[in-house]
Structure 1
Amino acid sequence: MEQLDIIILVAYLLVIVGIGIYLSRKESTNAKDYFFASNILPWWAIGGSLIASNISAEQFIGMSGSGYVVGLAIASYEWLAALALLLVAKFFLPVFIKNEIYTMPQFLEKRFDNRVKTGMAIFWLFLFVFVNITSILYLGSLALKTLLGIPLWLGIIGLVLYSATFSIFGGLKTVVWTDVVQVVVLIIGGIIATIMILNAIDSNIIEALNQLYHKAPDKFDLILDKSNPEYKNLPGLSVLIGGIWVANLYYWGTNQYIIQRSLAAKSLKEAQLGTAFAALMKLLLPFIVVLPGIAAFVLDAPISKPDEAYPWIINNYVIIGFKGLAIAALIAAIGSSLSSMVNSTSTIFTLDIYEPFLTKAKENVSQKRLVKVGKMSSAVALIIGAIVAPLLGNIDQAFQFIQEYTGFISPGVVTIFVLGLFWKKMSSNAALWSVILSFPFSIFLKFLFPELPFMNRIEIVFALCMVASIGISIIESKYEKANYFYNPKGLFNTSLKFNALAFTTIGIITVIYSLFY
């Protein structure tokens, strides 16, 4: 990089670290303050933090790589996620907030029993540390290596230290407020990188998009047919009506790492409005992370792996001054996602594993001790992730890899939450078996039908888990009464502002799919 780019990048890093240190200067004295920002978050902070936490190297590097290979069809993950966010805001959040749910394992304990809660808490801890944190560190350090020549191991250490500044000491409050700053940087930086790669095709942006479309028309098919080699990852109309809904509801509605922001809102209305705001912002993301990958394909980028597309764009087409901002945007995406994941990992470990264990042992657990354990578990999660991250070096399309293997368990989890929230007869044993069966069902279908697209496999496993859960619950209803949440009339009513954002989002998505079907 040129000197100006280095100055911009270093200035950005110093500002974020400075904000993190400033917000962390007053030590949290209770768990609610550290893990849930004292429930003071406004809608705009929630929306910004949701997007900042969601966008990471997984999107900038992984989704651009998939854009290079697949094209615009990969954007279905983003656009259908916007609809999933609206469903979560309207139907999930009212039940969670009314019943004072702060962690997803806590919901499972209140609705089912301690077995389901503890089993899922342990699973989520392993998933967060060994899949999510690890992949963020690996992809992020890979990008830094490609862009700046920083050795992989050194990039991992740097990202760990950068994230630790505002994820360990300040808790969720620090994470969210730094997210608000970082989401602005990552969107502006991402837009700049997109504009500059389009300028390489034509100085007129509209004409550049037109040329992209005519030079690679198959990359603009939102619904792939069976002749497309990427049909196995995005199987035609099944994308609109199948497993992608399970994946999105799992990620946005049951994932502590994401939903923790909404649960820390001032009120239900603020939580819903912030989530709808995030849904609207999601519509912009494919233009930032997918279009550059398509442009790299059209420009015949000399890369050996699809996930090298975005770094290649920044190195070759983003001009002096803006390159520092574009790299700052990438680091912002990595740092915000990493800090959010670490905070949620420590939340589940501290409140759902550590505190109940000591309570059973009849020990008094002070608030200060919980905060201390939260900080220690955050540090441990980062260290483990840093050790495991280099082992991911053989992944081709990282985004697709993460989606497929998370899909081994997501059907069972979504079954638990959907039936647990909206069906009174769902029993604890049914919930337990839903999770247990999801993995072997997935493995069985993967090896027995290797040609079956994984998105369809998720859909089938979800159906099997639903049938098994309903059958077990009906049998058990003869002998015992299940716990359930009472949902009073009017609980799912939403404000005019939320409805306006929701209808706008739905309308835009309808237009997009009508144009690129």
Structure 2
Amino acid sequence: MLLAPLDLAVLAIYVIALMSIAWWVSREKAGHEKDTNDYFLAGSSLPWWAIGASLVASNISAEQIIGMSGSGYAIGLAIASYEWMAAITLIIVGAWLLPIFLKRKIYTMPQFLQQRYDSRVRLTMALFWLSVYVFVNLTAVLWLGALAINTLTGLDLTASLVVLATLSLAYSLYGGLKAVALTDIIQVVLLVAGGLFLSYASLDLLGNGNGMFAGLDRLTSELPEKFNMILTPENEHYMSLPGISVLLGGLWVINLSYWGFNQYIIQRALAAKDLKEARKGIAFAAFLKLLMPVLVVLPGIAAVLLLPPLDRPDQAYPQLMGLMPVGLKGLIFAALVAAILSSLASMTNSISTIFTMDLYAHARPNKSQHHYVKVGRITSVSALVIALVTAQPLLGDSEQAFQFIQEFTGFFTPGIVVLFLLGMFWKKATANGALIAAVGSAVLSLAAKMWLPEVPFMDRVGYVFLSCLALAVVVSLLESKGKDHANAISLDDIDFSTDGSYRLSAVIVIVILICLYSAWW
């Protein structure tokens, strides 16, 4: 076991604090019973700091922390593009997409598709997202999180799975999204504190006790190749990060799908008390995303010099933890557990929201609010039980599993972005055009993978996006015959204007990104 009794005590304090705060914020006033808005959208009352913290906490989990640190070890700082480009994507989501969603007063992404297209599109995408969230995302977080705990503590894999599932339910099942989002600020504080300590300690070790800047200077001078942000075709990792495509290509499609149209991410912003508060939360999340590579990628690069050659890059983060002092090691481990629990709770809440509001409520309308909340809780438990049973059979090899997840979701990402963007900003888009984009995305992605294996994954996503866009436009024009769709969205009454603080945040994010890429081009 890598953890000492003091480390375990730090972890225990974190778990007790998390449970206590979650139950405290979940309390209801006397005589008030939770309705669907309370449970699934936190009563539309989330403050900006909870929205921003929850966006990042939901996004970062074991596979991101350990996997991205491993990519830092193998590839270098170039992997940070996923985080840094996400920051500007969030600004775009807050400025142009969120006003439409909040104006429509929706609970879920499938609900928006019903309003804009028809019930076929809603049902198709609801079933798709439920399948992906349960059998891909939820199982991945559980399995890879359990592997991390097993590596660091020696706890049996099955026991690790059960502990993670139980803890996530214990603090989120009763309170719903409110309990998840308001406790995510603890998760983010731990995540940032643990990551900063690990980065500082790693660089200080490299600098032989002369501070982090001495360690950073050694790192950049001895491993200059690890600080190239844009990889050339000659680089062995070009297929993973194909040069300029990380700035101008398929990464935009991936990020827009994830941050703009992904239920368990965007649900936090939908729960804001108003658009201004939601945008402040999104700006906060954007700045946190700029910080993330410092917390997880930089230690991975440092591990190249601090550790002996590793069998697998993903061993970098756990091995670095082993070098940390007692107590600090417990803090970093608590941050890792915090990230896992937050992602699990967010996913189960979103699964229950989609199932209850998009499937069950349509099949059995006119039930009481208490009934739908009860169904949501049963769905959360059921989803975790299914993930527990299927995690090991589906994702037995963590390294291959993460690559499979990226590849699998990438099959559908282009079509999802097409049907949402056209539905929001083009009045002639039809339901059949949307369905063609969704189905065509999977078919074209599979064909490209089989017949064009030399094309990098990120470029393939971009090409399939353009193809699906063309298909959807052609089908819609043939159907509409020049007329607007009956359910077309009017943008006339939607206020896209932003206040001074949001515009300033956008400028700061852009300037920081320009500086970062200019410094390490």
- Does TM-score exceed 0.5, indicating one fold? yes
Give how far 1:267 is off: 0.3
Partner-residue secondary structure (3-state), 1:409: helix
Given that residues 191 and 336 in structure 2 are in contact (C-alpha distance below 8 angstroms), is that contact kept between their aligned partners in structure 1?
Answer: yes
Question: Is the Cα–Cα contact under 8 Å of residues 133 and 385 in structure 1 kept in the other structure?
Answer: yes
Equivalent position to 2:357, from 340, 351, 369: 351
Residue 298 of structure 1, CA deviation? 2.6
Contact preservation (8 Å) 1:47, 1:276 = yes
Alignment of 1:164-313 (within 5 A): 164-202=169-207, 203=209, 204-313=211-320
Contact 1:307 1:398 survives alignment (8 Å): no
Q: What does the per-residue CA deviation read over 1:40-98, in whole Å, with 9 as the maximum and x for residues that have no partner?
A: 11111111111111111122111111111111111100000001101100000001111
Looking at structure 2, the residues matched to 168 and 377 of structure 1 have their Cα atoms a distance apart, in angstroms, of 10
Find the counterpart in structure 2 of residue 414 from structure 1: 417
Give the deviation of 1:248 after TM superposition. 0.3
**Deviation at 1:489?**
6.5
1:507 maps to: 511
**Matching residue of 2:499:** 495
The counterpart of 2:397, out of the listed 394, 399, 402, is: 394
Q: In the alignment, which residue of structure 1 is the partner of 2:335?
A: 329
User: Equivalent of 1:88, from 83, 89, 93?
Assistant: 93
| Displacement after TM superposition at 1:23 (Å) | 3.2
User: How far has the Cα of 1:221 moved from its partner?
Assistant: 0.9
Instruction: Work out the percentage of aligned pairs sharing the same amino acid.
Output: 49
Among 362, 378, 385, the residue aligned to 1:376: 378
Partner of 2:427: 424
Q: Contact 2:60–2:343 at 8 Å: present in 1 too?
A: yes
Secondary structure of the structure 2 residue equivalent to 1:333: helix
Q: Is the 8 A contact 2:100 2:494 kept in 1?
A: no
The answer on whether the counterparts of 1:63 and 1:399 sit within 8 Å (CA) in structure 2 is: no
Closer, same or farther: CA 109–457 of 1 in aligned 2, 3 Å: same
Normalised to the residue count of structure 2, the TM-score between the two structures is 0.96
Aligned to 1:163: 168
Q: Partner of 1:338 in structure 2?
A: 344
**For residue 502 of structure 1, what is the amino acid of its counterpart?**
A
1:479 Cα shift?
8.0
Whole-angstrom distance in 1 between the partners of 2:409 and 2:201: 34
Write the letter of the residue equivalent to 2:225. Answer: D
Q: Secondary structure at the match of 1:226?
A: coil
SS in 2 for 1:79: helix
Q: Does 1:445 align with 2:451?
A: no
Shift in Å, 1:388: 1.9
Partners of 1:411 and 1:438 within 8 A in 2: yes
SS across alignment from 1:290: helix
Aligned twin of 1:460: 463
Residue 399 of structure 1: how far off its partner (Å): 4.8
| Alpha-carbon spacing, 1:73–1:397, altered in 2? closer, same or farther (3 Å) | farther
Partner Cα distance (2:158, 2:402) in 1: 21
Equivalent pair of 1:301/1:309 in contact (CA under 8 Å): no
Gapped runs of 5+ residues in structure 1?
none
What's the secondary structure of 2:411's corresponding residue? coil
Q: 1:5 & 1:453 partners in 2: Cα distance?
A: 42
CA contact (8 A) 2:99 2:494 kept: no
Q: Indicate yes or no: 2:141 matched with 1:136.
A: yes
Counterpart of 1:294, as a letter, is: I
Q: What is the TM-score of this pair, normalised by structure 1?
A: 0.96
Structure 1 residues 6-155: aligned runs within 5 Å: 6-26=8-28, 28-155=33-160
CA distance, structure 2, for counterparts of residue 379 and residue 286 of structure 1 = 34
- In 2, the alpha carbon distance for the partners of 1:403 and 1:194 equals 27
Q: Partner letter of residue 116 of structure 2?
A: R
- Secondary structure of the equivalent of 1:459? helix
Task: Give the C-alpha shift of residue 159 in structure 1.
Answer: 0.3
Aligned to 2:368: 366
Letter in 2 for 1:192: F
CA distance in 2, matches of 1:98, 1:326: 41
Question: Is the Cα contact below 8 Å between 1:416 and 1:434 reproduced in 2?
Answer: yes
**For residues 248-291 of structure 1, what are the alpha-carbon distances to aligned partners after superposition, in whole Å with 9 as ceiling and x for unaligned?**
00000000100001011010111111111101111000011111
DSSP-derived class of the 1:170 partner: coil
Q: Residues of 1 paired with 2:33 and 2:16: CA distance?
A: 23
CA distance in 2, matches of 1:367, 1:454: 44
Contact 1:111 1:485 in 2 (8 A): yes
Alignment coverage as a number of residue pairs? 512
Q: C-alpha distance in 2, partners of 1:245/1:431?
A: 20
Q: Which amino acid aligns with 1:22?
A: W
Deviation sequence 1:133-161 (CA, Å, 0-9, x none): 11111111111111111111111111001
Q: Deviations over 1:91-115 (max 9, x none)?
A: 0000111121221001100000000
Q: Which amino acid aligns with 2:408?
A: Y
Greater shift after overlay, 87-96 or 138-147? 138-147
CA contact (8 A) 1:232 1:453 kept: yes
Q: Distance in 2 between matches of 1:121 and 1:396?
A: 29
**Structure 1 counterpart of 2:517, one-letter code:** Y
Please give the per-residue CA displacement for 1:159-184, whole angstroms capped at 9, x wherever unaligned. Answer: 00110012211100000111111111
Check 1:28–1:304 CA distance in 2 against 1; reply closer, same or farther (3 A cut). farther
- CA distance in structure 2 between the partners assigned to 1:72 and 1:265 by the alignment: 34
Partner secondary structure for residue 283 of structure 1: helix
Partners in 1 of 2:147 and 2:398 — Cα distance? 12
The 8 Å contact of residues 428 and 483 in structure 2, kept in 1 or not, is answered as no
Aligned residues of 2:91 and 2:283 also touching (Cα < 8 A) = yes
